[in-house]
Amino acid sequence: MIKKNLTCISCPMSCQLELTIDNGEILQITGNGCKNGETYARQEFTNPQRVVTTTVACHSGLWPRLPVKTVAAVPKDKVAHVVRALHGVEVEAPVQLGQVIMENVAKTGVAVIATRSLPQTRLNNSCENP
Amino acid sequence: MYDVIIIGGGIVGCALARELSRYNLRLALLEKEVEVGFGTSKTNSGIIHAGHHSPPDTLKGQFEWSGNQQWADLAQELKFGFKQIGELLIAHKHEDLQYLEDLKKQGDARGVTGLEIWGQKRIRKEEPNLSHTILKALHAPTAAVINPYEACFGLIECARQNGLELFCNHPVLSIKKGKNNFSLETPQKNFTTRIILNAAGLFADCIAAMVEANNFSISPRKGEEYLLDRRLQGIVTHLIFPPPSTTSKGVLIIPTVDGPIMVGPTAEDIDNREDLSTSYSGADKVFAAVLKSCPSISERDTITEFAGLRAVSENNDFIIELSPVINFYNIVGIQSPGLTAAPAIAIYVTEILRDNGLSLVRKQIWKANIDGPPHFAAMSPEEREAAIGEDPAYSRIVCRCELVTEAEVLYAIKHGARTLDGVKFRVRAGMGRCQGGFCTTRIMDLLAQESGVPLTEITKRGSGSEICIPRHDIIPIEDHR
Amino acid sequence: MKNQLQKNYAVVIIGGGPAGLAAALGAREAGAEHVLIIDREVETGGILNQCIHSGFGLHYFKEELTGPEYAERFSQQVLSSKIELLTDSYVLNITPDLKLEVISRNHGYLNLQAKAVVLAMGCRERTRGAIRTPGFRPAGVMTAGLAQKMVNMKGVLPGRRVAILGSGDIGMIMARRLVLEGCQVVGVFELHPYSSGLSRNKVQCLDDFDIPLHLSTTVAFIHGRKRVEHLTIAPVTTQYVPNLNQSWDVKCDTLLFSIGLIPENELSARLRIKMDPSTGGPQVNSTMETSLPGVFACGNVLHVHDIVDFVSEESLRAGRFAAELALGMRRPGDNIALYPGENIASCVPHSLSSDREQIIYLRVKQPVKNATLSIGDRYEKKFKRLIPSEMVKLTLPPKILDHFFGERLRIEVSSGEAE
């Protein structure tokens, strides 16, 4: 039987969790302030997942970058793949909040969506790299 | 071929440029940095000394008072800030009182006006925040403050509108002495000239060595300065001087021309001419000294600090003379009160040139004034409304700490600012308490837009100091576990 | 919107970030007709627009959102609530009788009159100068927030090899962000013996990417004349004095500062509003009104929050109270002063009224375990763990002040074990 400590990342409370593990199975979880802590602990122990947030290019937008995220968490070891898959992506303004930017990113089965609306108008002074 | 080439665009070079631009000469100034005033002048304390500090048997003493008297006019003609706030040289100890008397006599003999020794009552009344242990103070009403870089920008703009050719980013690599001329090599192009004025500051001995005119040596003396938050503005209203040490005028309290208080400088002889670093020990020295004269100043109020290097000659005085090489003049070792003295030095050099046979014919048209940058923060509500009516760029704030509008930044760029520092030192954008946190990207946008280059080519102060790099330079994250 | 701007408003809100947006909604809810938000940017949302990471909204919306999503939810509500917006505009001055001098890209020079003003200007980052880091002054030294704007909004990177001083949330979030963009983050250096951001951010931003966090260290010297070349890193003593004998060198071209936030109170200072040195923001009563009648404050301009949800909650209330005042409704004045006692770094508001529910935000000075928080003899609450980087919110029912006849209450944390 072993003990494993985790910090819950479900919310800013950052509860300190203690998992009691035997033979690869969780016997007990303590330290969580709410149910999410338990869910997080089980997920983190078996298959850690993260929501990925990054940006894609949008040269016709109000800003030259559009923030995006995966609609669901992806396996932690896929985070780099997701970011790389999005690195060269360019979208056209206007963009709507929630618009799908890429389906099934890096074969995770998870879509990437815009996390803001981006109007087409450009600031007359927002120069950036050609 | 040029008649005269000035090497070095510090305060001395800029003053020489403007003075010589009065005459029918083909004139150029070569500066190694990206803009004028970016060397020692940028980090100068900005004090126009009252006129009584330097001993009479020195060149410093010769030019301090005559230089002092020119600055009010210069500020008016060249539209830079100038405040004659006066100075107090304070004495904590009885043994320092004689020094105050001697200094007063020295000043009186030179004709410096208004020198007065104040007792405790008067000091308390005029400067209630100074330490109560101060016994007496010598008041010199002729001392003033300016921004030295603004003076450089103003002088050079005036010189340019009167025909000076300015070449920034042109470091002199070598000089060849010809029969009747010199040829100067820079990375971009070569120049020929009859006369060279060496005003290269910290590097003046290196320049002189190129033609073996280096009968002197220059060593750097570092000074660290600490700029304090506007919270402390008005805590003292005069320049506060302690009795001087052997190497400097001591750690001063400086109510800058823009308002905020600055404290410093230290004085430390060093070897490296590019060592503009600040240090823990420098901060400790400055604040230990300042707290003695003004206990309510707090170290915690520092918003930024910087260091500058004074160019010190081996005899500690200015050297202003024809070098052993004919037509090669050294105007070097111009440390404090060099800023004060600069306009007087420029006139003196002109006289030497004339005495040595240079024909100086005044131009029929010579414009003494420049338009000068607009200053939105100083405008009345009516003036602000009118300015916005004429140019909507005044309605957009770029730097909120110092209340600088887009119109002012555009003006700075139009008048030579090529870098973030260039904009900052012309119109104060980025100089306030947030130190550019908010306005940096906006200024970069405007610089990029006006010069038609990408953001990644915008620098802090010239090539090699780019602020950001392009995104596609980097292959995004590799796999991690 | 051009030329339709009117000159008299019930409530004018300065700042269109999360605080300003919520305050405007609060003011409308409470019945104010003419509500105006003034913001210096071209769009509302404030700093949330560059905070593209998730972690926002768990309290307020009960779901996890990114910064731009959180901002857009509020902006959309504001747009559909008949609230006027003046973006790309800047308040130059306010007079004590609430006349505002404003400049605006679209409207030029304006003089506006308000019945109530809400200060919602947010905060700014502490800079290198505030801690006097010795060394050269090259390019490549900037605040983490500026780097965040460059990366997330301008599409450029601050450098290739990055060190971060300060383990505040923005610093840790930028560490991850830069790694995802392909930069190398050589380490996060923290002066304190504990991380100054949320633990969850240490886990998901640093631990996930094997970015080392060096506690009790600082940058003792910045090398490089034009661009940062390397740093001298030194451990610090318990008195936070760098021990240069044990220093080491770190090669990098960029140094980001994430060493804290300061409420942005230029305007408040000009209005001579009474400030609280412990928060850096105005002193406010239980209706979030400052010492200047009719001027309210909320969000990070009042005190720096850790999470935006609390900003929204606080600002909604401030907006409501501002509207009530504008409509001529006067709440009873506060009758009890609240002041910080043992192990309390700061608390907001600064006074209470016995007639209503009270919400108090506070921070402790030192981390403690198993602590008891008390407000005079009226209220007690146990906490397993209290740390300076996590603000505490207390909601007190009005009844705790029943039959209390004193003028002041001390709020304190006691009987804890030091962590």
What the block records as the tokens of B479 is 């796999």
Collapse the DSSP code of A13 into the 3-class scheme (helix H, G, I; strand E, B; otherwise coil) and give the result. coil
What the block records as the tokens of A41 is 């602990």
Which residue of B456, B478, B481 is in closest CB contact with A129? B456
Which residue of C72, C208, C385 is in closest CB contact with A116? C72
**Which residues of chain B have a Cβ shorter than 8 Å from any chain A Cβ?**
442, 445-446, 448-449, 454-456, 470-472, 476-481
Supply the angle between the helices B420-427 and B406-414 in degrees, to the nearest 10: 110
pLDDT in tens, B419-465: 999 999 999 998 888 888 889 999 999 999 999 999 999 999 999 99
Q: What value does the mean pLDDT take over residues B256-260?
A: 94
Over the Cα atoms of chain B, what is R_g? 23
Supply the angle between the helices C308-326 and C67-79 in degrees, to the nearest 10: 20
Interface list for A 38-77 with C (CB within 8 A): 50-55, 57, 62-65, 67, 69, 76
Measured at the CA of C314, the angle between CA C192 and CA C391, to 5 degrees, comes to 20
**Strand partners for B146:** B82
Which residue of C68, C181, C306 is in closest CB contact with A12? C306
CA-based nearest distance A124→chain B, Å: 9
| Residue-by-residue DSSP string for B375-424 | -GGGS-HHHHHHHHHH-GGGGSEEETTTTEEHHHHHHHHHTT--SHHHHH
Residue type, A24: G
User: Given B49, B53, B139, B170, which residue is catalytic?
Assistant: B49
Separation CA B406–CA C90 (nearest Å): 13
Task: Return the CATH architecture of domain C8-124+262-331.
Answer: 3-Layer(bba) Sandwich (3.50)
C2 pLDDT more than 60: no
Which residues, in sequence order, are CB contacts of C215 under 8 Å at separation 6+? C190, C192, C193, C194, C195
Confidence of residue B247 (pLDDT cuts 50, 70, 90): low
Compare all CA atoms of chain B with the CA of A126 and give the residue at the minimum distance. B445
A130 pLDDT more than 80: no
> Are both B203 and B339 inside the same structural domain?
yes
Over the Cα atoms of chain A, what is R_g? 19
- Contact (CB, 8 A) for C176 and C183: no
Interface contact flag, C146 B468, Cβ < 8 Å: no
> Are both B386 and B465 inside the same structural domain?
yes
End position of a domain, from candidates B355, B385, B415: B355
Q: Which residues of B touch C139 (CB under 8 A)?
A: 459-461, 465-467
Q: Is the peptide bond before B55 cis (omega within 30 degrees of 0)?
A: no
Tell me how far CA of residue C418 lies from CA of A6, B104, C201, C237, C343, in angstroms.
Answer: 22, 61, 23, 18, 11
Interface contact flag, A80 B479, Cβ < 8 Å: yes
> What integer pLDDT is reported at residue C402 of this predicted model?
83
Burial class of B438 by CB neighbour count within 10 A (0 to 12, 13 to 18, 19+): buried
* Chain-centre distance for alpha carbon C281: 10
Chains that touch C (3 or more CB pairs under 8 A): A, B
DSSP code for B466:
B
Separation CA C69–CA C106 (nearest Å): 27
Interface contact flag, A126 B445, Cβ < 8 Å: yes
Compare all CA atoms of chain B with the CA of C128 and give the residue at the minimum distance. B304
Which residue of C69, C71, C180 is in closest CB contact with A54? C180
B47 pLDDT more than 80: yes
Q: Which of C333 and C251 is assigned the larger pLDDT?
A: C251
pLDDT in tens, A20-78: 999 889 999 999 888 989 999 999 999 999 999 999 999 999 999 999 999 999 999 99
> What integer pLDDT is reported at residue B235 of this predicted model?
96
- What integer best gives the mean pLDDT of chain B? 94
> What integer pLDDT is reported at residue C270 of this predicted model?
86
CA-nearest of C306, C339, C357, C358 to C412 is: C339
Task: Please list the helix, strand and coil fractions of chain C in percent, rounded to the nearest 5, in that order.
Answer: 25, 35, 40
C338 pLDDT more than 80: yes
CATH no. for C337-418: 2.60.40
Residue B70 forms part of a structural domain: no
> Are both B24 and B114 inside the same structural domain?
no
Domain ranges, ordered by start, for chain C: 8-124+262-331, 128-259, 337-418
DSSP code for C378:
T
**Looking at B106-153, which runs of residues are DSSP E strands?**
116-118, 136-140, 144-146
Confidence of residue B246 (pLDDT cuts 50, 70, 90): low
Which residues, in sequence order, are CB contacts of C236 under 8 Å at separation 6+? C191, C216, C217, C218, C242, C243
Which residue of C88, C109, C136 is in closest CB contact with B384? C109
Q: Is the peptide bond before B373 cis (omega within 30 degrees of 0)?
A: no
CB count in 10 Å sphere of residue C236: 19
Interface contact flag, C68 A50, Cβ < 8 Å: no
| Residue-by-residue DSSP string for C7-19 | SEEEEEEE--SHH
Collapse the DSSP code of B187 into the 3-class scheme (helix H, G, I; strand E, B; otherwise coil) and give the result. coil
Interface contact flag, A69 C54, Cβ < 8 Å: yes
Q: Which residues of B touch A64 (CB under 8 A)?
A: none
> Are both B385 and B444 inside the same structural domain?
yes
> What integer pLDDT is reported at residue A129 of this predicted model?
34
Interface contact flag, B449 A87, Cβ < 8 Å: no
pLDDT in tens, C249-272: 999 999 999 999 999 998 998 899
Which residue of C43, C52, C154 is in closest CB contact with A115? C52
C3 pLDDT more than 60: no
CATH number at B107 reads: 3.30.9.10
> Are both B413 and B466 inside the same structural domain?
yes
Residue B388 forms part of a structural domain: yes
Q: What value does the mean pLDDT take over residues C113-141?
A: 95
With b meaning 16 or more CB within 10 Å and e meaning fewer, what string describes C357-367?
ebbbbbbbeeb
Q: Which residues of B touch A84 (CB under 8 A)?
A: 476-477
Compare all CA atoms of chain A with the CA of B478 and give the residue at the minimum distance. A80
User: How many CB contacts within 8 angstroms connect chain A with chain C?
Assistant: 89
> What integer pLDDT is reported at residue C416 of this predicted model?
66
Residue B338 belongs to what domain range? 2-42+148-217+315-355
> Are both B348 and B270 inside the same structural domain?
no
Separation CA A119–CA B81 (nearest Å): 44
Compare all CA atoms of chain C with the CA of B475 and give the residue at the minimum distance. C182
> Are both B465 and B380 inside the same structural domain?
yes
The percentage of chain C sitting over the pLDDT mark of 90, rounded to a whole number, equals: 83
Q: Which residues of C touch B403 (CB under 8 A)?
A: 92
A28 touches chain B (CB under 8 A): no
Interface contact flag, C204 A128, Cβ < 8 Å: no
Interface list for A 83-122 with B (CB within 8 A): 83-84, 87
Which residue of C40, C129, C142 is in closest CB contact with B302? C129
Compare all CA atoms of chain A with the CA of C51 and give the residue at the minimum distance. A67
> Are both B328 and B441 inside the same structural domain?
no
Interface contact flag, B445 A125, Cβ < 8 Å: yes
Separation CA B166–CA B27 (nearest Å): 9
Q: Which residues of A touch C58 (CB under 8 A)?
A: 10-12
B129 pLDDT more than 50: yes
CB count in 10 Å sphere of residue C351: 19
CATH number at B466 reads: 1.10.10.1100
Q: What value does the mean pLDDT take over residues B339-356?
A: 98
pLDDT in tens, C269-296: 889 999 999 999 999 999 999 999 999 9
> Are both B199 and B140 inside the same structural domain?
no
CATH number at B325 reads: 3.50.50.60
- Contact (CB, 8 A) for B389 and C109: yes
Count the domains in chain B: 3
> Are both B404 and B262 inside the same structural domain?
no
Compare all CA atoms of chain C with the CA of B477 and give the residue at the minimum distance. C182
Separation CA B78–CA B38 (nearest Å): 19
> What integer pLDDT is reported at residue A122 of this predicted model?
54
The percentage of chain B sitting over the pLDDT mark of 70, rounded to a whole number, equals: 98
Interface contact flag, C157 B471, Cβ < 8 Å: yes
Tell me how far CA of residue B70 lies from CA of A120, B199, B478, in angstroms.
Answer: 56, 20, 64
Separation CA C294–CA C185 (nearest Å): 47
- Contact (CB, 8 A) for B211 and B193: no
- What integer best gives the mean pLDDT of chain C? 94
Whether B415 is catalytic is: no
A128 pLDDT more than 50: no
Domains along chain A?
A: 2-46 (2.20.25), 53-114 (3.10.530)
> Are both B232 and B105 inside the same structural domain?
yes
> Are both B117 and B152 inside the same structural domain?
no
Q: Which residues of C touch B280 (CB under 8 A)?
A: 132, 134, 220, 242
Separation CA B404–CA B382 (nearest Å): 17
Interface contact flag, C152 A8, Cβ < 8 Å: no
Which residue of A52, A79, A115 is in closest CB contact with C69? A115
pLDDT in tens, B280-338: 999 999 999 999 999 999 888 898 999 999 999 999 999 999 999 999 999 999 999 99
Interface contact flag, B282 C143, Cβ < 8 Å: no
Separation CA B141–CA C30 (nearest Å): 59
Interface contact flag, B445 A127, Cβ < 8 Å: yes
Place of tokens 């894609």: A56
What the block records as the tokens of C327 is 């409509």
pLDDT in tens, B31-45: 999 999 999 999 999
> What integer pLDDT is reported at residue A16 of this predicted model?
87
Q: What value does the mean pLDDT take over residues B61-66?
A: 96
Separation CA B71–CA C338 (nearest Å): 56
Q: Which residues of C touch B441 (CB under 8 A)?
A: 146, 149-150, 154
* Chain-centre distance for alpha carbon B178: 34
Separation CA B117–CA C43 (nearest Å): 59
Residue B462 forms part of a structural domain: yes
> What integer pLDDT is reported at residue A126 of this predicted model?
38
A128 touches chain C (CB under 8 A): yes
Separation CA C130–CA C133 (nearest Å): 8
A16 touches chain C (CB under 8 A): yes
| Residue-by-residue DSSP string for B34-72 | SSTT-SGGGGS--EE--S-SS-TTSHHHHHHHHHHTTHH
Place of tokens 């900005």: B46
Q: What value does the mean pLDDT take over residues B258-263?
A: 95
Separation CA B106–CA C120 (nearest Å): 57
Separation CA C259–CA C231 (nearest Å): 17
Q: What is the pairing mode between strands C248-251 and C230-235?
A: antiparallel
CA-based nearest distance C8→chain A, Å: 30
Quick one: fold of C128-259? FAD/NAD(P)-binding domain (3.50.50)
| ipTM tops 0.95 | no
C53 pLDDT more than 60: yes
Residue B366 forms part of a structural domain: no
Residue B225 forms part of a structural domain: yes
Q: Which of C135 and A128 is assigned the larger pLDDT?
A: C135
Separation CA B27–CA B331 (nearest Å): 17
Provide the CB-side half-sphere exposure for A6 (13 A, CA).
27
- Contact (CB, 8 A) for C232 and C163: no
Supply the angle between the helices C18-29 and C67-79 in degrees, to the nearest 10: 30
* Chain-centre distance for alpha carbon B66: 18
CA-nearest of A62, A87, A84, A64 to A74 is: A84
What the block records as the tokens of B169 is 């980013």
Compare all CA atoms of chain C with the CA of A6 and give the residue at the minimum distance. C203
Interface contact flag, C92 B304, Cβ < 8 Å: no
Residue type, B138: L
C32 pLDDT more than 90: yes
Q: What value does the mean pLDDT take over residues A101-113?
A: 97
Collapse the DSSP code of C131 into the 3-class scheme (helix H, G, I; strand E, B; otherwise coil) and give the result. helix
What the block records as the tokens of B409 is 């930044």
- Contact (CB, 8 A) for B299 and B167: no
The percentage of chain A sitting over the pLDDT mark of 70, rounded to a whole number, equals: 93
Instruction: Name the helix (H) or strand (E) containing A97.
Output: none
